[in-house]
Amino acid sequence: MSTATREATERSEAVLGEIVLYHAKDGDDAAELVAFPLCADMTTFAAIVTRSHARGMVDLMILDPSRGPMPRWKVPYSTEPRPGTWTAREGDASGDVASVRPSHS
Over the chain (105 residues), the average pLDDT of each successive run of 10 is 51 81 81 59 88 92 78 93 92 45 44
Contact between residue 23 and residue 86 where contact means Cβ atoms under 8 Å apart: yes
pLDDT of 68: 73
Distances (CA, A) of 96 to 13, 25, 29, 48: 20, 25, 27, 11
pLDDT of 74: 94
pLDDT of 4: 52
pLDDT of 90: 81
pLDDT of 103: 46
pLDDT of 43: 83
pLDDT of 13: 67
pLDDT of 38: 66
Cα angle, residue 72 at apex, residues 27 and 67 outer, rounded to 5°: 80
**Best CA proximity match to 21, nearest among 31, 35, 11, 30:** 11
Domain residue ranges of the chain, discontinuous segments joined by +: 3-90
